[in-house]
């Protein structure tokens, strides 16, 4: 059995919640270890979410501005786009630079970074097993870590629905951000903020987009005034929106995918180059060993903490917990004396900003 390493504060997940918590905990005097299973820091937001989506939107708007130049009395040749170069710019000039910046900040704050998959085996101990190419982790076959404090910020994954297995031309939002070409016909199942945003982005790039939404309107939960502005913008871009619809099934070949949906008992089929499913995400709580701890999950796989157990602190964020939290609340383990609430406020602010970054489409 590997030697047990003792750590002060361990964080699982290097997304916006995890790396911001790591930096702030370090500022408060904690010795921090950050565990990330991917070979890239920054989580979904920086790598396959908020940041690349904004880059794709920006490219689409530049393309539209070039095509609309005559509106301002500017005569140009019809604009064309090399989408492979667009994707290369998005990855190398935007995403890679930002993830490199995260690593620099973590190194500056002396945060130890371990690449591997963390699995809890008790309330105070976890195992880290290597996954993929090892950029951060040493050449161990595994590590056993005992911690004083733990933050779980393990992120989430896209929900897959019956009849639409993610494969080939049926894709999730990650696939939607990394398409090899601009689709002529693009079907989006799910009219939430992610699906709506990427629908608008590809419409700007020249795709004919159809959104299939199960509810009576897209962007459920947002104000009617805001939704009306988005609807007007999407209509201007030529986006078709089918509401109160149930996605039934899909079939595909090498060149296209057929999507069958039902409205008021009547089935229809649309043929497209790609079908992107964006009906929500589930937290990554299944395979991190929570069953070996006192932490319980609710029906939605979110952490369910009890206020009667003083060792567990509910941070009001579904993927963040501390075990045990009272050390930060009642006594400093080093020179820091600032309250835990400052750390939580920073994390919450980052999560909110990350949500707004993904949720606020440019409407021109």
Tell me what pLDDT residue 139 has.
42
217 pLDDT above the threshold of 50: yes
Nearest Cα neighbor of 183 from 257, 131, 113, 249 is: 257
For every residue of 332-355, which 3-state class applies, written as one string?
CCCCCCCCHHHHHHHHHHHHHHHH
pLDDT tens for 305-322 read: 555 444 444 443 333 454
336 pLDDT above the threshold of 70: no
d(CA 54, CA 46): 10
Residue 289, in any domain of the structure = yes
Residue 336, in any domain of the structure = yes
Tell me what pLDDT residue 268 has.
98
Tell me what pLDDT residue 299 has.
75
Are 18 and 122 in the same domain? Answer: yes
Are 342 and 308 in the same domain? Answer: yes
Tell me what pLDDT residue 70 has.
86
pLDDT tens for 57-107 read: 999 999 999 988 888 898 888 889 999 999 999 999 999 999 999 999 999
Are 8 and 145 in the same domain? Answer: yes
Are 124 and 192 in the same domain? Answer: no
Sole residue written with tokens 């890679």: 96
Boundary of a domain, candidates 260, 279, 298: 279
Boundary of a domain, candidates 232, 261, 279: 279
pLDDT tens for 248-305 read: 999 999 999 999 999 999 999 999 999 999 999 988 888 888 888 877 777 776 666 5
Tell me what pLDDT residue 290 has.
85
Helix ranges, 68-132 (H): 83-89, 96-108
Are 141 and 228 in the same domain? Answer: no
Residue 346, in any domain of the structure = yes
Sole residue written with tokens 């396959």: 48
- The CATH number linked to 293 is 3.50.50.60
d(CA 200, CA 227): 14
Are 196 and 269 in the same domain? Answer: yes
From the number of C-beta atoms within 10 Å of its C-beta (0-12, 13-18, 19+), residue 91 rates as: middle
Token pair of 218 as six digits: 């897209």
Residue 86, in any domain of the structure = yes
CA atoms lying within 13 Å on the CB side of residue 256: 8
Boundary of a domain, candidates 259, 279, 299: 279
Are 21 and 153 in the same domain? Answer: yes
Tell me what pLDDT residue 100 has.
92
Residue 364, in any domain of the structure = no
d(CA 47, CA 38): 11
Are 262 and 303 in the same domain? Answer: no
Are 15 and 139 in the same domain? Answer: yes
Tell me what pLDDT residue 338 has.
40
d(CA 8, CA 33): 8
Are 92 and 31 in the same domain? Answer: yes
d(CA 68, CA 361): 20
Mean pLDDT of 226-248: 97
User: pTM of this prediction?
Assistant: 0.81
pLDDT bin (cut points 50, 70, 90) of residue 353 is: very low
- Work out how many domains the chain is built from and give that number: 2
Distant-in-sequence, close-in-space partners of 110: CB < 8 Å, separation ≥ 6 = 26, 32
CB 138 within 8 A of CB 128: no
pLDDT tens for 5-64 read: 999 999 999 998 899 889 999 999 999 999 999 999 999 999 999 899 999 999 999 999
Residue 250, in any domain of the structure = yes
Are 230 and 319 in the same domain? Answer: no
| Helix (H/G/I), strand (E/B), else coil: 90 | helix
CB 123 within 8 A of CB 301: no
Residue 326, in any domain of the structure = yes
CB 285 within 8 A of CB 199: no
327 pLDDT above the threshold of 80: no
For residues 356, 65, 230, 200, the Cα torsion angle rounded to the nearest 10 degrees is -80
| Helix (H/G/I), strand (E/B), else coil: 252 | strand
Which range marks the domain in which residue 90 is found?
A: 4-157+282-359
Are 189 and 119 in the same domain? Answer: no
CA 85-86-90 angle, to 5 degrees, is 115
Residue 261, in any domain of the structure = yes
Residue 163 phi/psi, 5-degree rounding, is: 85, -5
Mean pLDDT of 163-187: 97
């Amino acid at each position: 059995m590997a030697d047990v390493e003792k750590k002060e504060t361990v964080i699982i997940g290097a997304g916006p919640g995890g790396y911001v918590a790591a930096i702030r905990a370090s500022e408060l005097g904690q010795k921090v270890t950050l565990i990330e299973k991917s070979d890239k820091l920054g989580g979904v937001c920086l790598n396959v979410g908020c940041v690349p989506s904004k880059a794709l939107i920006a490219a689409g708007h530049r393309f539209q501005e070039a095509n609309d130049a005559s509106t301002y009395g500017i005569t140009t040749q019809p604009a064309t786009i090399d989408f492979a170069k667009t994707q290369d710019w998005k990855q190398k000039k935007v995403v890679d630079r930002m993830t490199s910046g995260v690593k620099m900040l973590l190194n500056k704050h002396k945060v130890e970074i371990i690449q591997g998959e963390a699995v809890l085996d008790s309330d105070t101990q976890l195992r880290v097993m290597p996954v993929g190419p090892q950029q951060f982790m040493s050449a161990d076959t595994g590590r056993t870590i005992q911690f004083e404090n733990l933050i779980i910020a393990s992120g989430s994954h896209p929900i897959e629905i019956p009849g639409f297995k993610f494969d080939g031309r049926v894709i999730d939002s990650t696939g939607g951000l990394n398409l090899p070409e601009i689709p002529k016909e693009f079907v989006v199942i799910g009219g939430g903020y992610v699906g709506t945003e990427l629908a608008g982005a590809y419409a700007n790039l020249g795709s004919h987009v159809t959104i299939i939404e199960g509810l009576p309107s897209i962007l459920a939960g947002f104000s009617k005034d805001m939704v009306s502005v988005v609807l007007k913008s999407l209509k201007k871009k030529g986006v078709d929106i089918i509401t109160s619809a149930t996605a039934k099934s899909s079939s595909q070949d090498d060149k296209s995918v057929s999507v069958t949906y039902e409205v008021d008992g009547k089935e229809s089929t649309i043929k497209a180059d790609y079908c992107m499913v964006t009906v929500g995400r589930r937290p990554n709580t299944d395979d991190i060993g929570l069953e070996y701890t006192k932490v319980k999950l609710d029906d939605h796989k979110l952490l369910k903490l009890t206020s009667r157990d003083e060792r567990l602190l509910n941070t009001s964020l579904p993927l963040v917990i501390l075990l045990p939290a009272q050390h930060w609340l009642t006594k400093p383990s080093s020179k820091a004396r600032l309250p835990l609430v400052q750390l939580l406020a920073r994390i919450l602010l980052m999560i909110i900003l990350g949500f707004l970054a993904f949720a606020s489409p440019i409407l021109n």
